[in-house]
Amino acid sequence: LALADVKRYTLQLRQREAHFRQLAHTDPLTGLANRAAFTAALEFAIADPDRHLALLFIDLDDFKTVNDQLGHAAGDDLLVAVAGRLKTCIRGEDTVARLGGDEFAILLEAAPSQQVAVRVAGRILEAMRPPFPLQGRHVQVGASVGVTVSQATEVDAVLREADVAMYTAKAHGKGRFELAASSA
């Protein structure tokens, strides 16, 4: 093989490797970080002894109704639109991810306080208020948000705190946020 062929082949391999690495860490539907990438970011944040982080766990309210009434393609379109709105609620250093189904999570780093996390939760709820245009209709979908400003040292514990807070928000009427017991 000529040197030029080897260089071209090496470049193609590097490009494929970068593409596969991106696929492994990106939700294919929304383009957000996926669960694996989010977990890695959370592990990294927790490992920092000077860390100050908050986690918001977001679940769409009545998402199943959209899938049942308009079909899964409309549900996918809604998830993409929600991802776009969530991105408008965060700062550049924050991580937003789709964990699966209609569950999203946001990792706030860089010394967030409970007040910062609550402000972001409020922005999320506000961003969800306008109806979503889907298949020529305007669909109203809310979100329930669990917020934790955690001192836990394990990923599962932090996620569990925010998840429990999110289910508390759903139990108290949906379309709202709740602070985790450890954050209150």
What amino acid positions are annotated as catalytic residues? 102
> What is each CA distance from 158 to 31, 37, 141, in whole angstroms?
24, 16, 26
> What is each CA distance from 128 to 82, 90, 124, in whole angstroms?
8, 14, 6
Alpha carbon distance 53, 42 (integer Å): 9
Alpha carbon distance 102, 109 (integer Å): 23
